[in-house]
Every structure is written in structure tokens, then in C-alpha cells.
Amino acid sequence: AVIGINPATDSPQATADLLHLLDDIRQRFAIPAQSCVLSHITTTIGLIEAGAPVDLPFQSIAGTEAANRAFGVDIALLREGRDAARSLHRGTVGDNVMYLETGQGSALSSGTHLGTGGKPVDQQTLETRAYAVARDLEPLLVNTVVGFIGPEYLYDGRQIIRAGLEDHFCGKLLGLPMGVDVCYTNHAEADQNDMDVLLNLLAAAGVAFVITVPGADDVMLGYQSLSFHDALVTRRTFGLAPAPEFEAWLRRVGMVDDAGRLTPFDVHHSPLRAIAGGSRAR
């Protein structure tokens, strides 16, 4: 499991405060998870050098050099971030330390989608090229934010569903730990029913993970995604289970029973009460 925060500012101090907050919660409650604050990788590299508790550097990437320059990165900088995180030796299994984000239309949105002779290259081809960049970095997870940019790039629910399946398929072909943020903007011709369809199709296709946010509403970025209960319902529907070490932790703190079912929620005695109310920022 990865617990991430998308910060409203790229401020090093704000990022450091959030990193310490997440690390404090993770260590005090012995949660078998990684944390990530989704600041620009240059901010994260500076914080690693300052001794901040960074599990996973984050960065959005794209399928052309020009598009990556628009994101403020190149392959050398991305490798620097990976190597900086590895130098902390915070992982217990393997050294896959990168959290990378992609999405069809990112190159087009910055006018960096032109190929030989100035001719445009289609969104899916450029998205797949981004996966080649990701594979070079040996990431822990790669996440396509499938409907985030808006209807100018993926017009309606059908196109978002198609793109989500395309991205999952191509990521799997390239051997990536591929997941999907099943999402749409409020001005797209899509709704939560389309997201339910895509979530179930992805689960049937063996997606590695999905992104979930409280209430399925990303209030910072202003788009609709999946909620935590969507992941729970999908696991039940398809007979799936959480990662073994995370399920063992859920059982240890009393959130699930021996069969893996959520225990009855008691607002006064839930372990979540201690986790949500007992953390402190440094």
C-alpha cells in the first residue's frame, strides 16, 4: 500500500512537514506501507539531501523529450532522484523507489506531441513511450491518470474507458507495475457510472492497483476519482484480498476478521480513531 498526499504547494517546508507527518503515523502504528508527497522531483531530491524521510520520489513523465522538459525533468534528473532515494535504504524488500505518473494527452496539452516533419503523433503512442521512460527507472508503481486532463483529450466516458484499458494493456506488455487513477473532470461527458464500469473491467484484466481518495472527490485538483469503498467492493466482487502483509496488519489492529471481512465499525473504539486523531506534525 502507498499513502500519498498531493500538496497544494511545492514548498520544500510544506513538503517536509507532510513527509514527517506521514512517516510519524507509519512508524508509530507499524503500518506496512510506503508514503509519498507528490512534489516535483527537484524538491524531493533537496529534501533527501536534507535528511527528510522520503520513501518514494514522485514525478509526472511523458513520451517526448520536449514534454518531459515541460515537466521540468529529463532522464538524467529522474535517475538522480531514483539514486538519491535508494541511498536512504528505507525499503525492506527490493530497491524500487519511484512513483511515476502518466496520462494520455500530456504531450498534446503542452504542444510537444509533434514527430518527424512536424506531424502529430497520436496520444496512445506517446503514452506508451512514457512507459519506456518509466521502465528505465525500475519504479515501484506507475499510474496513468486516465481522464484527468479533460474532454479536450478524452471526450467522454467511452473514450476514458478505452484509454484506461489501453494504458493498462500497454503497461503490462512493458512489464510495469501498472495502475490506473480511474477519473474524469467535471466538464467531461462522463459520470461515476463510467468509472464503475472501467474499475470492474480493470479488475477483471488484473490491474495492479487503483488510486482512491476520500469520497471519490479530489478537492485539490478538482476531478472525480474512486473512493476507498470502491476498492473494497471490487475486492469482494472478484474474490481478491489486500497485499498479504497489509491484510495481516489489518487483522492485527482489529479492522478485519480472520476471513478478511471488515469488522463492525465503532466510532468510539475503531483503530482509525487513534490513527486519525493521534498523529502530529513536527
The answer to the question of residue 107 being in a domain is yes
Q: What is the pTM of this model?
A: 0.93
Cα–Cα distance, 45 to 79 (Å, whole number) = 11
Cα–Cα distance, 74 to 71 (Å, whole number) = 9
The answer to the question of residue 35 being in a domain is no
pLDDT beyond 90 at 128: yes
Instruction: Work out the burial of residue 147: count CB atoms within 10 Å of its CB; fewer than 13 is exposed, 13-18 middle, 19 or more buried.
Output: buried
Closest CA to 1 of 172, 247, 168: 247
pLDDT beyond 90 at 282: no
The answer to the question of residue 225 being in a domain is yes
The arithmetic mean of pLDDT across residues 169-189, rounded, is 96
Instruction: Give the pLDDT of residue 268.
Output: 80
pLDDT band at 154 (very low <50, low <70, confident <90, very high): very high
Q: What is the three-class DSSP state of 60?
A: strand
Cα–Cα distance, 252 to 278 (Å, whole number) = 19
Cα–Cα distance, 58 to 39 (Å, whole number) = 7
Instruction: Work out the burial of residue 50: count CB atoms within 10 Å of its CB; fewer than 13 is exposed, 13-18 middle, 19 or more buried.
Output: exposed
Instruction: Give the pLDDT of residue 278.
Output: 54
The arithmetic mean of pLDDT across residues 209-220, rounded, is 92
Instruction: Give the pLDDT of residue 54.
Output: 98
Q: Which amino acid, 88?
A: L
pLDDT tens column, 47-63: 999 999 999 999 999 99
Cα–Cα distance, 240 to 5 (Å, whole number) = 26
Which residue range is the domain that position 137 belongs to?
Answer: 57-240
Considering the chain, what is the average pLDDT of its residues? 93
The arithmetic mean of pLDDT across residues 78-105, rounded, is 95
Cα–Cα distance, 150 to 223 (Å, whole number) = 9
pLDDT band at 220 (very low <50, low <70, confident <90, very high): confident
The answer to the question of residue 252 being in a domain is no
pLDDT tens column, 222-256: 899 999 999 999 999 999 999 999 999 999 998 99
Edge to edge, the sheet with strand 217-218 lists 184-185, 223-224, 217-218
The arithmetic mean of pLDDT across residues 170-177, rounded, is 97
CATH number at residue 118: 3.20.20.70
Q: What is the three-class DSSP state of 28?
A: helix
Q: What is the three-class DSSP state of 269?
A: coil
The answer to the question of residue 27 being in a domain is no
The answer to the question of residue 257 being in a domain is no
Instruction: Give the pLDDT of residue 174.
Output: 96
Instruction: Give the pLDDT of residue 270.
Output: 79
The answer to the question of residue 76 being in a domain is yes
Read off the DSSP letter of residue 215: G
pLDDT band at 195 (very low <50, low <70, confident <90, very high): very high
Cα–Cα distance, 2 to 119 (Å, whole number) = 39
Instruction: Check: CB of residue 63 under 8 Å from CB of residue 128.
Output: yes
What's the total number of domains in the chain? 1
pLDDT beyond 80 at 274: no
pLDDT tens column, 23-46: 999 999 999 999 999 999 999 999
Count the neighbouring beta carbons within 10 Å of the beta carbon of residue 257.
12
Instruction: Give the pLDDT of residue 277.
Output: 67
222 or 121, which is more confident? 121
Instruction: Give the pLDDT of residue 259.
Output: 87
The answer to the question of residue 31 being in a domain is no
Closest CA to 61 of 52, 53, 70, 50: 70
